Amino acid sequence: MNRKEFEEALMSTIVEYISDQVILRYAQACKKATVLFSGALIGYKDAVTSLNELKKDGWTLTAVLSKAAGEVITEERIKNDIDPDAIYVEGAPVNGRQIVDDSQFVIIPSLTINTAAKVANCISDNLLTNMISRAMATGKPIVAAIDGCCPDNKVREQLGFKVTEAYKAKMRHNLEDMLAYGITLTTDYSLCSKVNEVFSAKISLPALDNSKPAPKKERIVSAKMEPAVQSVSQPVKKAGASGSVKLDKKVIGRVDIAKNARFKTIVVRQDALVTGLAKDEALNRGITIVKE
């Protein structure tokens, strides 16, 4: 490598490092979520685990409890299990509109049958449904876990949930309507990975060097709802890379890898210098770099 090529490689590495730091700080500032508890206990344990994982990932969580959640789950339990940065309970003075506007994201763990039905039918008659409506109106991403409202949940069956198939069909239809509104549905078990997945797609940034790979296992509580839940995941999944591309450059940086993330293999010149950040990016994305 001659002096000019060395200087180009050094400058590329410095620029990439600075860019990554800017991206990381911007992404961190955007990790503010409003967490709406509507009162369902099915899936609550997994929701606690997922929400604590999000906190470890740097998310700021503001919890809002409906009247039912305040009675069934209780404010004290939420504080002990999750320790959110702020917590509000319906009935006390709460500016739900402002809370949503100050957040970048809305998370609904353990969505109840009642709340799902109201959202599906455009009913906003309490604090939580008004906040969900506000989030949709302002384009805020919403991720909801369906453990507590899926008619095919095995736990619900064990608890003696015996209604007609017509009633179950209506419940499934409510979830399909929520999907159509742009709300991402998942399970409490997969809530953390799904939120991070949607967040990465929403802010339109390349994968961050410190991001954690999503768990390969995803527990679906309803076999009948599985296609619907997965249909929302498709636009934001990073998987599915195929084919190869050739980059005719002397210096291959992280941005070059991120821009070609849809390819499984990236072919570079024999004399190309691949920066350390580029190698890390390729490793994180499962991309193979091949020299001619």
Q: How far is CA 27 from CA 196, 221, 251, in A?
A: 11, 31, 27
- pTM recorded for the entire structure: 0.66
Using the predicted structure, report yes or no on whether residue 202 has a pLDDT greater than 60: yes
Backbone φ, ψ for residue 87 (5° rounding): -145, 135
Q: How many CB atoms lie within 10 A of CB 64?
A: 25
DSSP state of 212: P
279: confidence class by pLDDT, cuts 50, 70, 90: confident
194: confidence class by pLDDT, cuts 50, 70, 90: very high
Most confident by average pLDDT, 159-163, 237-241, 244-248: 244-248
Predicted pLDDT of residue 163: 85
Amino acid at 41: L
Question: Which residue shows structure tokens 């991402």?
Answer: 184
In angstroms, the CA 237 to CA 88 distance is: 33
- 12-62 pLDDT, tens per residue? 777 777 666 655 555 665 789 999 999 999 999 999 999 999 999 889 999
In angstroms, the CA 86 to CA 172 distance is: 33
In angstroms, the CA 113 to CA 51 distance is: 21
- Delineate the domains of the chain, giving CATH numbers in brackets: 31-203 (3.40.50.1950), 244-291 (no CATH)
Share of the chain above pLDDT 70, in %: 81
> How large is the average pLDDT for residues 261-288?
86
Predicted pLDDT of residue 23: 59
Question: Which residue shows structure tokens 């990439």?
Answer: 16
Contact 105, 29 (CB under 8 A): no
Mean pLDDT score of the chain = 82
Predicted pLDDT of residue 21: 62
Predicted pLDDT of residue 27: 60
Residue of 177, 211, 174 whose CA lies nearest to 192 = 211
Predicted pLDDT of residue 219: 41
87's CB contacts (< 8 A; 6+ apart) are 62, 63, 64, 65, 75, 78, 79
